[in-house]
């Protein structure tokens, strides 16, 4: 058990660093609901602040005498989670409503930070319209539900049509396997040397941006080595697929196909991607999320009218092109009520305000989220909101979710260390996988199982991607933009529990 003194000191420092937090939690004004949420470190990215300010005004108008106090926490993802957890440890600093990344909810529930919402959800009619997979994402091992999700996301390869034209690559690019992706990047490096060929998020500082968006987009395309064996209730050690995913990352940075290593390992790399590298034509291919367009809209942090014609998107292929031929990862955030909240009925009323059909649609539009409600998925405004909506919604059919288990944040941290080791060249994929196994056994008290061994390690030193060929990428007549089914259930495939 950790000593109490450091926790007390952390709470004092947190209260001093974040003005107004000392007024949160129990024993405060019964008419005031404190709402903690993550504010982007990009000072130009304030769409969330604007939306919540509008929700605050709407709630206060409908509930005379009641007030919403917004508590923005401007921090990177991991720092935000740490600060919120510190806040929820104390009656004095705990918010009433908190914005939670669903993959962290398991650990926060286990720690006793969140309040179950079942008694509200049982009589809340809109809950019937939420996709089953979205509900599962906020349901704990005890069978109770602890949050209301406000959307999801998917991931794919974005690419710059103009850079591809300069490199002689097809405008309707659709890579069949990992080698096709690497070959396209090598072609860009050779023919357009002033452009970064391929961005794959990596390392410790970007947190889940690297682990989920980089590594797991690769791992779940290897076909045999998931992170967690739900049937055995054990975490999976780093087998062939794990090493192959690390091998792909090692190849990107060893062959100088990615950004400079110092840039790749920067916690703010995603801001550089969206505000500089892509808009300025300095990046050819980016393994990234469905939400990117939000930054480039007229209301975004970096308006870029040409993005919808300059950029295209295509599914990330599986390692060898094996069925289903493409892979995606999905996550999402949810609104939860703190266990220390002394006015849960009023806090829930604000969550209801956030989740009227119109407000839910407005949020999915402004945040470029993939809808998790059937009524929002049919909303004409949502369907017209962005040219990429149909493509990224269709990817849900082949998406995967992270294990929503208390140990996952620590497992994620161990993966980040393995990624950083192969990115800097300090470890081979095999050595990094062995180090991960040791960490995993410690994190889970030995609750591990051996990975399946299928497909073989490939020719790249046992941890590579396969043939590791260096020729030009061939053309593929497949569509680079795809078609989707946005009028249907946006999360029709439940997938593994996240």
Q: pTM score, two decimals? A: 0.75
Residue 263 pLDDT level (bands cut at 50, 70, 90)? very high
pLDDT of residue 88: 96
Average pLDDT over residues 318-335: 95
CA–CA gap between residue 81 and residue 38 (Å, rounded) = 9
Residue 149 has pLDDT above 60, yes or no: yes
- CB neighbour list of residue 439: distance below 8 Å, 6 or more residues apart: 414, 417
- Strands (E) in 200-279, as ranges, are 228-229, 234-236
Collapsed DSSP state (helix, strand, coil) of residue 124: coil
Tokens 């710059």 belong to which residue?
160
pLDDT of residue 61: 98
pLDDT of residue 86: 95
CB 333 within 8 A of CB 101: yes
pLDDT of residue 458: 36
CB 456 within 8 A of CB 240: yes
To the nearest whole percent, how much of the chain has pLDDT over 70?
85
Residue 9 pLDDT level (bands cut at 50, 70, 90)? very low
Residue 25 pLDDT level (bands cut at 50, 70, 90)? very low
pLDDT of residue 453: 57
**How many residues comprise the chain?**
498
pLDDT of residue 315: 98
236 DSSP β-pair partners: 449
Residue 134 has pLDDT above 90, yes or no: no
Lowest mean pLDDT among 38-52, 347-361, 402-416: 38-52
Tokens of 60: 């206060």
In tens, the pLDDT along 164-186 reads 999 999 999 999 999 999 999 99
Residue 319 pLDDT level (bands cut at 50, 70, 90)? very high
The residue ranking higher by pLDDT, 159 or 78, is 159
Which DSSP category does 278 fall into? Answer: T
Sign of CA dihedral 116, 120, 123, 125: negative
Residue 163 pLDDT level (bands cut at 50, 70, 90)? very high
- CB neighbour list of residue 15: distance below 8 Å, 6 or more residues apart: 21, 22, 92, 93
CB 293 within 8 A of CB 370: no
Average pLDDT over residues 125-145: 90
Average pLDDT over residues 246-263: 98
DSSP states of 387-421 as a string?
TTHHHHHHGGGGEEE---STTHHHHHHHHHHHHHH
CA dist 341 → 91, 333, 345 (Å) = 8, 20, 10
Alpha helices (runs of H) in 89-131, residue ranges in sequence order? 102-110, 118-121
Residue 308 has pLDDT above 70, yes or no: yes
Tokens 């992270």 belong to which residue?
402
* Mean pLDDT over each residue of the chain, to the nearest integer: 86
To the nearest whole percent, how much of the chain has pLDDT over 90?
69
């Amino acid at each position: 058990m950790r000593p109490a003194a450091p926790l007390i000191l952390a709470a004092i420092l947190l209260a001093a660093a974040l003005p107004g937090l000392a007024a949160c939690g129990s024993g405060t004004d019964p008419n005031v609901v404190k709402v903690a949420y993550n504010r982007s470190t990009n000072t130009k990215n304030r769409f969330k602040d604007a939306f919540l300010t509008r929700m605050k005004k709407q709630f206060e108008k409908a509930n005379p005498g009641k007030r919403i106090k917004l508590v923005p926490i401007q921090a990177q993802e991991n720092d935000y989670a740490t600060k919120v957890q510190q806040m929820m440890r104390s009656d004095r600093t705990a918010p009433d409503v908190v914005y939670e990344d669903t993959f962290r909810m398991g650990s926060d529930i286990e720690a006793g930070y969140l309040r179950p919402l079942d008694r509200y959800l049982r009589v809340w009619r809109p809950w019937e319209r939420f996709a089953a997979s979205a509900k599962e994402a906020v349901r704990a091992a005890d069978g109770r539900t602890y949050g209301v999700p406000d959307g999801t996301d998917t991931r794919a390869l974005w690419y710059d049509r103009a850079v591809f034209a300069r490199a002689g690559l097809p405008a309707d690019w659709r890579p069949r396997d990992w080698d096709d992706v690497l070959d396209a990047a090598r072609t860009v490096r050779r023919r357009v040397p002033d452009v970064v060929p391929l961005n794959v998020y990596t390392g410790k500082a970007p947190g889940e941006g690297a682990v989920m968006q980089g590594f797991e987009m690769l791992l779940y395309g290897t076909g045999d080595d998931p992170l967690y064996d739900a049937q055995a209730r054990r975490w999976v050690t780093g087998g062939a697929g794990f090493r192959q995913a690390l091998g792909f990352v090692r190849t990107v940075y060893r062959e100088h196909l990615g950004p400079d290593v110092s840039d790749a390992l920067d916690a703010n790399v995603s801001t550089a991607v969206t505000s500089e590298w892509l808009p300025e034509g300095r990046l050819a291919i980016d393994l990234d999320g469905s939400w990117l367009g939000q930054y480039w809209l007229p209301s975004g942090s970096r308006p870029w009218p040409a993005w919808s014609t300059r950029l295209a998107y295509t599914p990330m292929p599986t390692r060898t092109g094996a069925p289903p031929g493409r892979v995606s990862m999905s996550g999402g955030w949810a609104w939860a009520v703190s266990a220390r909240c002394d006015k849960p009925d009023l806090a829930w009323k604000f969550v209801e305000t956030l989740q009227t059909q119109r407000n839910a649609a407005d949020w999915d539009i402004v945040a470029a989220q993939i809808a998790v409600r059937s009524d929002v998925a049919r909303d004409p405004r949502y369907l017209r909101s962005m040219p990429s909506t149909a493509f990224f919604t269709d990817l849900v059919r082949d998406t995967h979710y992270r294990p929503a288990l208390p140990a996952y944040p620590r497992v994620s941290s161990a993966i980040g260390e393995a990624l950083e080791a192969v990115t800097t060249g300090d470890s081979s994929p095999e050595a990094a996988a062995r180090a991960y196994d040791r960490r995993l056994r410690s994190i889970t008290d030995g609750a591990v199982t051996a990975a399946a061994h299928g497909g073989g390690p490939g020719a790249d030193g046992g941890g590579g991607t396969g043939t590791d060929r260096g020729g030009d990428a061939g053309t593929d007549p497949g569509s680079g933009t795809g078609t989707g089914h946005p009028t249907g259930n946006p999360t029709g495939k439940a997938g593994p529990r996240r």
